[in-house]
């Protein structure tokens, strides 16, 4: 009996997916999905790339972050389109006023969404085209 090999430990499967986020981390990443758009103040494409990166990295770990990441991405794509239209309308002198309105709406709604996400609430941006579902 002494020559018998030891019995192996019971099988326990190794998780293959990423570990889910706790509630505090969920709120932080959801808030960062919105606030990362503020990098658009310094780079041309930052307002779209920031939320895209946060969403792609964390969407598998939390449905809450997935929702907020898509919302932030959709809103910033919509704002990019509105900004491009405003820029084209500079020729008619309407774009000069319109670009400031678009910028103010972008900043205000981004900050509102970040606060709501940090409070653990779901927030949908108004007047947003839903490109990513």
Mean pLDDT of 13-29: 84
Range of the domain at 93: 23-118
Note whether residue 89 is domain-resident: yes
CA distance 57 to 89: 36
- Other CB atoms within 10 A of residue 32 CB: 22
Q: pLDDT exceeding 70 applies to what percent of the chain?
A: 92
Over residues 33-81, the pLDDT tens digits come to: 999 999 988 887 889 999 999 999 999 999 999 999 999 999 999 999 9
Note whether residue 129 is domain-resident: no
Note whether residue 108 is domain-resident: yes
DSSP letters spanning 77-94: HHHHHHHHHHHHGGGGTS
Q: pLDDT exceeding 90 applies to what percent of the chain?
A: 68
Over residues 92-133, the pLDDT tens digits come to: 888 889 999 999 999 999 999 999 999 999 999 999 999 998
pLDDT at 74: 97
CA distance 40 to 16: 35
The total of structural domains in the chain comes to: 1
Note whether residue 125 is domain-resident: no
């Amino acid at each position: 009996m002494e020559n018998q090999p030891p019995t192996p430990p019971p099988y326990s499967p190794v998780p293959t997916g990423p570990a889910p986020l706790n509630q505090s981390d969920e709120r932080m990443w959801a808030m960062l999905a919105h606030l990362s758009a503020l990098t658009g103040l310094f780079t041309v494409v930052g307002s779209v790339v920031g939320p895209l990166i946060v969403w792609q990295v964390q969407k598998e770990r939390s449905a809450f972050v997935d929702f907020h990441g898509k919302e932030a991405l959709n809103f910033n794509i919509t704002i990019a389109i509105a900004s491009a239209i405003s820029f084209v309308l500079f020729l008619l002198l309407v774009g000069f006023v319109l670009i400031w309105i678009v910028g103010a709406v972008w900043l205000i709604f981004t900050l509102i969404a970040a606060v709501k996400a940090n409070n653990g609430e779901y927030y949908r941006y108004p007047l947003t085209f839903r490109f990513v579902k």
